[in-house]
A and B are shown apart, each in its own frame.
Chain A
Amino acid sequence: MPKVKIKRKSTVTDMTAMCDVAFLLLTFFILTATARQPEALKVDTPSSTVTMKQPDTDISTLTVGQGKIFFGVVGQDVRMNTLERIGEQYNITFTPEEKKRFSVIENFGVPIANLKQFIALDNTERMKINQPGIPADSGANNELKQWILQARYATKELHNVDLRFSIKGDSKEKYPEIRKVIDILQDQNINKFSLITSLEAKN
């Protein structure tokens, strides 16, 4: 009588289905991805229960944190046009190369005097340096006011819509800093803007 052999079960599993699913998901993520832009100024936004999404276009974000203010506006064409206008205001001429480089900077916080140097830096260096923020003190040196104004003109000219503003503040930021930004906006009769928050459950 032959011995009854216990059949050894194969450890191999069929991975075809798993592979299919994995690649399907991968394709989905690649197609829907808009890579997160590295932020020049890291802020921890406060949470709220509002569930309104921020629009994608014609919006400018003013980031406030660590006592600094950073400016950013959506759209390469708008950024280019804004830079041209700022150049006119401050009698600085920017070369087409510089304009092109500036148009990919999502947000920044350097005084206009250092802008040329800043544009000349490459992307990784730009993230490394400690940007001082845009001067926003009242008086003649209020560069933030100019940026806001020129970005509004640029958006109006290119897209014929009003530029919207959102304030992205750090939760630990003292209120007077935020107030400064709100005041600058209000000086230009912008009484409506949005505050960027992260989502929180209603309890």
Chain B
Amino acid sequence: MAELDTSGGGNKKGGKKVRSKKMSTRVDLTAMVDLAFLLITFFMLTTTLAKPQAMDMFMPDKNDKNPDQQLDVKASRTMTLLLGSNNKIVWYMGVAGDNPPNVDNFGKDGIRKSFIEANQKVVATTGDPKKGLMVIIKPTDKSNYKNFVDILDELKIAEVPSYGIVPKIEPAEINLLKDNGAYQ
């Protein structure tokens, strides 16, 4: 890409005045641009442009110092989710055994749909939009962290009004998972 100097050659004709050659003011910028883009690439890749996203979560208070502050929720409003292995969710409404358990997977047509449907049903029975669905999440030992984050995310997307995370799992619930092949 070197620039050819085509202005020269005119002074060889004999007898004429020797003119001082005018130097071109143009500098070849190719190398400079190359370097600049190289550095840009380097800085773009090493920069953390996007800060990590933080999902806030609240755990229920562990020590029950104020039992009177605890909220009683009607069993019919609750939906218990058991996070099992292989990205499976087993859930039932109300008290275990009263309602048949359902198996769902994560995603748009899976648990999210169930959340929205269940919430609508609950609101319809209570007749109060504030008294919506109450989801109880029980992550088992077989579930992984991704499931946990995903379920919190789905709750947010489905606009479920309230949820709680309960680490205690009954043996009956483990059996429920086993029956559905979600505890391996």
Binding site for B on A (CB under 8 A): 11-12, 15-16, 18-19, 22-23, 25-26, 29-30, 32-36, 45-46, 48-56, 64, 166, 168-179, 182, 186-187, 189, 191-199, 202-203
Verify B156–A49 contact, CB threshold 8 A. Answer: yes
Give Cα distance in the complex from A98 to B140, angstroms. 42
Neighbouring B residues of A179 by C-beta, 8 Å = 139, 167
Interface size on B, residues (CB 8 A): 48
B83 contacts the other chain (Cβ, under 8 Å)?
A: yes
Given contacts A26-B40, A53-B53, contact A48 B149 (CB under 8 A): yes
Verify A171–B56 contact, CB threshold 8 A. Answer: no
Offer 21 A-B interface pairs, CB within 8 angstroms, sorted by A. A15-B33, A22-B40, A26-B39, A26-B40, A49-B153, A49-B157, A50-B55, A54-B54, A55-B54, A174-B143, A174-B144, A175-B139, A175-B145, A179-B139, A182-B59, A194-B57, A196-B52, A197-B53, A198-B53, A199-B50, A199-B53
Neighbouring A residues of B99 by C-beta, 8 Å = none
Verify A51–B144 contact, CB threshold 8 A. Answer: no
Given contacts A15-B30, A30-B43, contact A52 B54 (CB under 8 A): yes
Verify B43–A48 contact, CB threshold 8 A. Answer: no
Verify A196–B53 contact, CB threshold 8 A. Answer: yes
Give Cα distance in the complex from A64 to B152, angstroms. 18
Give Cα distance in the complex from A52 to B143, angstroms. 25
Least CB distance, B54 to chain A, in whole angstroms = 4
Given contacts A48-B150, A173-B144, A186-B59, contact A53 B54 (CB under 8 A): yes
Neighbouring B residues of A166 by C-beta, 8 Å = 54
Verify A46–B146 contact, CB threshold 8 A. Answer: yes
Verify A48–B141 contact, CB threshold 8 A. Answer: no
Verify A175–B56 contact, CB threshold 8 A. Answer: no
Neighbouring A residues of B71 by C-beta, 8 Å = none
Verify B56–A186 contact, CB threshold 8 A. Answer: no
Give Cα distance in the complex from A15 to B37, angstroms. 13
| Residue in A closest to B58 when the chains form the complex, CB atoms | A192
Least CB distance, A53 to chain B, in whole angstroms = 5
B29 contacts the other chain (Cβ, under 8 Å)?
A: yes
Verify A46–B149 contact, CB threshold 8 A. Answer: yes
Give Cα distance in the complex from A171 to B139, angstroms. 14
Least CB distance, A9 to chain B, in whole angstroms = 13
CB 8 Å contact bits of B154-176 with A (1 = contact, 0 = none):
00110000000001000000000
Verify B145–A29 contact, CB threshold 8 A. Answer: no
Given contacts A29-B40, A29-B43, A48-B152, contact A195 B54 (CB under 8 A): yes
B51 contacts the other chain (Cβ, under 8 Å)?
A: yes
Verify B53–A48 contact, CB threshold 8 A. Answer: yes
Give Cα distance in the complex from A137 to B154, angstroms. 32
Give Cα distance in the complex from A35 to B43, angstroms. 8
Give Cα distance in the complex from A196 to B146, angstroms. 11
Neighbouring B residues of A186 by C-beta, 8 Å = 59, 62
Give Cα distance in the complex from A15 to B26, angstroms. 10
Give Cα distance in the complex from A25 to B44, angstroms. 10
Least CB distance, A190 to chain B, in whole angstroms = 9
B23 contacts the other chain (Cβ, under 8 Å)?
A: no
| Residue in A closest to B149 when the chains form the complex, CB atoms | A46
Give Cα distance in the complex from A51 to B20, angstroms. 66
